Amino acid sequence: MSSSEHRDQTANSNAATSQGHQLLMMLFKAGQGFLPLLAAIVVLLVVFSLWVPQGRFLRFDNLVDLAQQIAVNAILAFGLTLVILIGGIDLSVGAVVAVAGVVSVSLLTPAGPVGGLLSGIAAGVLFGLFNGLFAARTAMPPFIVTLATMLMARGFALGFNESRPLPISEQQHLFLALGNERWWGWLPMPVILMFVVLIFSAILLHSTRFGQHLFAIGGNREAARLAGITIATHEVLVYVFCGACAGLAGIIHAAQLYSAEPAAGQGYELNAIAAVVLGGTSFSGGVGSIPGTLLGAIIIGILDKGLNQAGVHFSLQYMVKGGVILAAVWYDVSRRRLSR
- What pLDDT, on a 0 to 100 scale, did the predictor assign at position 100? 97
- The span from the CA of 235 to the CA of 134, in Å, is 10
- What pLDDT, on a 0 to 100 scale, did the predictor assign at position 157? 94
Residues in a beta bridge with 183: 187
For range 139-165, the mean pLDDT: 93
- What pLDDT, on a 0 to 100 scale, did the predictor assign at position 337? 76
* 180-234 pLDDT tens trace: 999 998 999 999 999 999 999 999 999 999 999 999 999 999 999 999 999 999 9
- What pLDDT, on a 0 to 100 scale, did the predictor assign at position 36? 86
How sure is the predictor about 9, in pLDDT bands with cuts at 50, 70 and 90?
A: low
How sure is the predictor about 23, in pLDDT bands with cuts at 50, 70 and 90?
A: very low
Average pLDDT, the chain: 89
- The span from the CA of 187 to the CA of 49, in Å, is 22
How sure is the predictor about 46, in pLDDT bands with cuts at 50, 70 and 90?
A: very high
Mean pLDDT lowest among 12-16, 100-104, 137-141, 168-172: 12-16
Under 8 Å between Cβ of 82 and 214: yes
* 57-67 pLDDT tens trace: 999 999 999 99
- What pLDDT, on a 0 to 100 scale, did the predictor assign at position 284? 84
- What pLDDT, on a 0 to 100 scale, did the predictor assign at position 237? 97
* 240-294 pLDDT tens trace: 999 999 999 999 999 999 999 999 999 999 999 999 999 989 888 888 999 999 9
- The span from the CA of 254 to the CA of 265, in Å, is 10
How sure is the predictor about 103, in pLDDT bands with cuts at 50, 70 and 90?
A: very high
CA dihedral 69, 73, 74, 78 (to 10 degrees): 170
Say how many C-beta atoms besides its own lie within 10 A of residue 26's C-beta: 10
Reference 190, options 243, 252, 138; nearest CA is: 252
- The span from the CA of 121 to the CA of 2, in Å, is 60
- The span from the CA of 93 to the CA of 98, in Å, is 9
- What pLDDT, on a 0 to 100 scale, did the predictor assign at position 35? 87
- What pLDDT, on a 0 to 100 scale, did the predictor assign at position 330? 84
How sure is the predictor about 99, in pLDDT bands with cuts at 50, 70 and 90?
A: very high
Q: Class for domain 57-328, per CATH?
A: mainly alpha
* 307-337 pLDDT tens trace: 999 988 888 888 988 888 788 778 777 777 7
